[in-house]
Structure 1
Amino acid sequence: MRIATNTIYDQSTNAMNRQQSALLKVGSQISSGKKVNSPSDDPLATSKALAITQSAAVNEQMKTARVSVRNGLGQEESVLNSVSDALISAKTSLIKGSTGTLTDADRSSIATDLQGILDTILGQANAADGSGSYLFAGYKTTTPPFVKDASGNITYVGDNGVAAQQVDSARLMSSSDTGDKIFQSVTGTATMVARAAGGNTGTATFTTPAIDNTSDPSYRQPFSIVFSDNAGVTQYSVNGGPAVNYVAGDKITANGMSLNISGQPAVGDTITVNAGGATDIFASLKSAIDALKSPTSTQAQQAALANTLNSVANELSNNLDNVLTVRASVGTRLNELDVIDTVGQNRSLNYTESVSDLIDLDYNDALSEYSLRQIGLQASQKAFVDVQSMSLFNFLK
């Protein structure tokens, strides 16, 4: 078979071009540090690397979200710490105010201290983050969640929505809690609190309700004690039940609970018992402040003061427990973020390693192949020179 000279030249040139192209490709890989510099180099590896890169980007977004949530929870934890300290100070002031030897001026001074504590808690309840968004307003982050009217009553005007962010692939976490949950509610099993009705005129005082029978079907259900008069004999009824003669100091039992009542109640005087009492921190403190500012020149006024301060002290204990419960929830979420951060870091490392396995260059293999390609190019060039020199004219003499 006859092979044309042009064919020999073309094949030799193509062989050199292939070797040179392969050498340049390896050189490009060495200079970039990547074995895949364009999708055409390895379409499958490129596709896999792109999917992993997208997953890594989502992981970074969730990392940013965790930073945001951690900042919000950190600010909330700081506020709740201050509120806890304020409630403890308020309870101390109530104990001082219950001292029987104090004058009206002394109690007025204590009321001023409590007013300062109330204002402090209100300020903390209306705390905002660095961007000016109110922490405890739900979705209404542009307006203060608590407002005070002309009478000093404080109302929650935020909503019940809780801002939450995706901190992991299967975890949506709230970065704060609503103000009504913290400052105007009591969660869990709250202490039963007895309170005298606002119109009571007698001198009756009462103790904190005690647990008598947890197996009572109506255990911890609210009840009311109403006093009446029957032919000069003071009586009382529980939740509208039959009237019973009242004896000062006797223990009155209902719904698995009991409390001791002393003094002489007036007709129509009412004492209510329920779990947690008033759940509003601001309302409880305001009632204590008003009571301390009121004169105590009569026994009835002294009894009203003692009952109010005792009730408020129990209510603040429940409020403090509630704040600590929310604070514990914040701490749990912060700890969970630490765990998720660790998982996220490991996931990020795995993504980086997977992309590296697909795209990055193994220099040992690349340098070895580079040397091999150099030898191949040199061999093809030598072969071309040898073929080029082959001619019949070299043998004619």
Structure 2
Amino acid sequence: MRISSSQYFTMNVETMNNQQASLANMYAQISSGKALQTAADNPLGAAQAVALTSQAANLAQYSTNQSSALTSLQQEDSTLSSVTNVMQSIQSLVVNAGNGTLNDTDRSALATQLQGYRSTLMTLANTTDANGNYIFAGFQGGSKPFSDNASGVGATYDGGPGQRQVQISDTRTINVADPGSAIFQSVSSNESSPVSSGSAANTGSGTIGPVSVSDSSDPANSLIYTITFGTTTTGTPPASVSSYSITSTDPSTTPPTVTAPTTPTPYTAGSNITVGSQTVAISGTPASGDKFSVSPANTGSTSDTDIFTTLDSLVNALKQPADSASAQATLQNALTTAGSKISNTYNNVLTTQTAVGGREQEVTATQTAMQTTSTQTANNLSDLVSVNLPSAISQYEMTQNSLQAAQQAFAQIQKMSLFNYLSS
């Protein structure tokens, strides 16, 4: 096979051009530090690099979301801690208010103190974050969640019903703020006690105590029981004695279903009265027509579980003169009712705070796991696109030497001719 001079020259020039292109590419890699200049350098590696870059961007955004979520949860946790401190102070005040040695002036002073605690709770319920958003406003972070009712009793919730959420990973979205209605106007279903109360219209000296529950799973405990006092004739010779009858109301039906009164039972002060799987004792001397009730912690009415309504009612009760046996009984009944409701709200706040703490731990654990993933992704991407400088420089020098040798050899061969041999 004959190779013409033209073919030979063309082949050598093409080889040297290829080597020069290779040197240019190596130089670009060394100067930029990137092994992949174009997708043509490594099509599979380029595709993998795009995927890893996208993954790294997602991980960076999740990291930002996690930090934001943790900040929000920590602020809610801190605020709820302040709420529990105030609630503990309120509970101590209620116990103190039951001291029989206090006079009307003392109780009025306690009422003023209680109003201060209420104002503090209202401020905490309307806490804002660093961006000015209300943390207990649900979806409506820009709206003030709580405001006092025009009637002067209780508060209105103007926030949203839902929980704000943040996505902290591909598969996990976490709640970062609880609506205030679930904290200050609701109670925990598992950590709440039934509420006993006496009618404000009672004229006797009867007082009702807290409720004891023997079987919390009894469906009958979800009914509202009304204990009505009257008189009945019993014994020989016949005599009129104080007695009571019980009616129950099912608040879950529309309209509520009310049972007929039970047969009157003679009343013995301090004896337990059974309603469902619950017992309650009434002491003192109730008058005919006086009424007492035992209700589940949550009857479906916001006013029953609104801590602001409870505190306003208690402030009003403490300001009333206790100048008769009936007035003293009314005050004691108000303290018993408020004590149960305040305790239920306190337990609800603790339950919420526990849930918030659990979410904080979950975010922290996700951060730790994702930091490991982010580091691995960055390493994989670096291994794929970053150039190995020692190896690249060595390869560059070898290629450069090869090119120089080829150029020198080609220059020498160019000088060779048949005439040179003939003349010699």
For the aligned pair, the TM-score class normalised by the smaller chain equals over 0.9
Q: Does 1:363 align with 2:395?
A: no
Match of 1:176 in 2: 177
Match of 2:268 in 1: 247
Contact kept? 1:139, 1:159, Cα under 8 Å: yes
Match of 2:242 among 222, 226, 234: 234
Matches within 5 A, 1:23-172: 23-153=23-153, 154-172=155-173
Match of 2:278 among 243, 254, 257: 257
CA distance in 2 between counterparts of 1:215 and 1:123 reads: 37
Amino-acid identity (%)? 37
Report the more deviating stretch, 32-41 or 167-176.
Answer: 32-41
Provide, for residues 218-241 of structure 1, a one-character-per-residue CA deviation record: whole Å limited to 9, x for no partner. Answer: 346442211123364221112222
Q: TM-score, normalised by structure 1?
A: 0.95
Match of 2:255 in 1: none
Match of 1:202 in 2: 204
CA distance in 2 between counterparts of 1:280 and 1:71 reads: 28
CA distance in 2 between counterparts of 1:266 and 1:235 reads: 10
Provide, for residues 128-176 of structure 1, a one-character-per-residue CA deviation record: whole Å limited to 9, x for no partner. Answer: 1122211111122222111113332212122212211111111111110
| Equivalent residues, number | 397
Q: Secondary structure at the match of 1:241?
A: coil
Structure 1 residues 213 and 22, CA gap change in structure 2 (3 angstroms): closer
Q: Does 1:275 align with 2:296?
A: yes
1:173 maps to a residue whose letter is I
CA distance in 2 between counterparts of 1:268 and 1:173 reads: 53
Q: Secondary structure at the match of 1:238?
A: strand
Report the more deviating stretch, 306-315 or 362-371.
Answer: 362-371
Instruction: State the 1:393 CA deviation.
Output: 2.7
Q: Secondary structure at the match of 1:83?
A: helix
CA distance in 2 between counterparts of 1:385 and 1:375 reads: 15
Q: Structure 2 regions of 5+ residues with no counterpart?
A: 234-239, 248-260, 299-303
1:321 maps to a residue whose letter is N
CA distance in 2 between counterparts of 1:80 and 1:270 reads: 37
Contact kept? 1:70, 1:334, Cα under 8 Å: yes
CA distance in 1 between counterparts of 2:245 and 2:169 reads: 58
Instruction: State the 1:382 CA deviation.
Output: 2.5
CA distance in 2 between counterparts of 1:185 and 1:72 reads: 22
Provide, for residues 106-128 of structure 1, a one-character-per-residue CA deviation record: whole Å limited to 9, x for no partner. Answer: 10000000000001101111111
Q: CA RMSD in A?
A: 1.8
Match of 1:312 in 2: 338
Q: Secondary structure at the match of 2:220?
A: coil
Contact kept? 1:220, 1:256, Cα under 8 Å: no
Q: Does 1:374 align with 2:395?
A: no
Structure 1 residues 215 and 159, CA gap change in structure 2 (3 angstroms): closer
Q: Does 1:387 align with 2:413?
A: yes
Q: Structure 1 regions of 5+ residues with no counterpart?
A: none
Instruction: State the 1:340 CA deviation.
Output: 0.6
Provide, for residues 372-394 of structure 1, a one-character-per-residue CA deviation record: whole Å limited to 9, x for no partner. Answer: 21232122112202211211232
Match of 2:258 in 1: none
Instruction: State the 1:211 CA deviation.
Output: 2.6
Match of 1:10 in 2: 10
List, as ranges, runs of 4+ consecutive aligned residues in structure 1 with deviation greater than 6 Å. none
Provide, for residues 55-108 of structure 1, a one-character-per-residue CA deviation record: whole Å limited to 9, x for no partner. Answer: 211111111111221121121111111110011001111111111111111100
CA distance in 2 between counterparts of 1:275 and 1:149 reads: 25
Q: Secondary structure at the match of 1:35?
A: coil
CA distance in 1 between counterparts of 2:149 and 2:185 reads: 17
Instruction: State the 1:252 CA deviation.
Output: 0.9
CA distance in 2 between counterparts of 1:331 and 1:297 reads: 48
Q: Secondary structure at the match of 1:175?
A: strand
Contact kept? 1:166, 1:173, Cα under 8 Å: yes
